[in-house]
Structure 1
């Protein structure tokens, strides 16, 4: 894995979102899933292979299967999306996207309350900030304390 910490940037945003208001109804709350984030990556994410690490002692069996399937060289994005896990809520986990042997992106689900994104790709960061306007920059120290 090749990583240059000085070029990596990190943002954090709330995992729970208010849905669109419907006439006469309260706003629905929804959870941003890994699947949603993978779709937001568009063509950038299609070429990545994913490795998953979960920090929950008793993850849902779908996540345990994902961790197993992603061992070694990782699991391609479309294969990952074809499994059940990305559509579920995990508690704590890192989902690392690799372009070949180089770490391109980390999606971190933290405490089921927020998502953290680390990448050197400016387009990915702008897409995250466009879709999740509450995304705020993080420092390396903040990133290191959420693992």
Structure 2
């Protein structure tokens, strides 16, 4: 398990000053590459989410879940949620949880070392978490 800041500093580019951007679910799914394509997703949100894209995602991901490419075709993965869990499954087995916590961090839980190393490669501030820390963000 690792956790990293959801808000990132972006380097200046093409004559524009440095700014900040939010890491979206869509960005994380792209970072997973072919690993993520094999997953189906279920979404759980804490509290109210007024944007209709979240309601659509909840409906689409109920039951068997929604494949990654279908998920990326929706609006919700490009939006900022306050508190949400995105659970990735292979068959009926949960293999990855991406937790958007309080719009300030992403927490990643998986037994797959490749996924953790990819997250740490792309987000060098990613720090290991304990089970107690994971439970505290739920």
> By how many angstroms is 1:59 displaced?
3.7
> By how many angstroms is 1:26 displaced?
3.2
1:30 to 2:21 alignment: yes
Q: Give the alignment's TM-score, normalised by structure 1.
A: 0.90
The one of 104, 110, 113 aligned to 1:119: 110
> By how many angstroms is 1:24 displaced?
6.0
**Partner residue, 2:97:** 106
Q: Which deviations, in whole Å up to 9, do the C-alpha atoms of 1:4-43 show, x marking residues without a partner?
A: xxxxxx1000000001123765311000000000000000
**Partner residue, 1:73:** 64
Q: Which deviations, in whole Å up to 9, do the C-alpha atoms of 1:70-101 show, x marking residues without a partner?
A: 00000000000000100111110000000001
**What secondary structure, in the 3-state scheme, does the structure 1 residue paired with 2:2 have?**
strand
**Partner residue, 2:130:** 139
Alignment RMSD (CA, Å): 1.1
Q: Give the alignment's TM-score, normalised by structure 2.
A: 0.96
Indicate if the aligned counterparts of 1:59 and 1:90 stay in contact, CA closer than 8 A.
no
Q: How does 1:23-62 map to 2 (within 5 A)?
A: 25-62=16-53
Structure 2 CA distance for aligned equivalents of residues 27 and 115 of structure 1: 22
**Partner residue, 2:86:** 95
- Where in structure 2 are there 5+ consecutive unaligned residues? none
- Where in structure 1 are there 5+ consecutive unaligned residues? 1-9
Structure 1 CA distance for aligned equivalents of residues 15 and 67 of structure 2: 43
Structure 1 CA distance for aligned equivalents of residues 49 and 108 of structure 2: 24
**What secondary structure, in the 3-state scheme, does the structure 2 residue paired with 1:13 have?**
strand
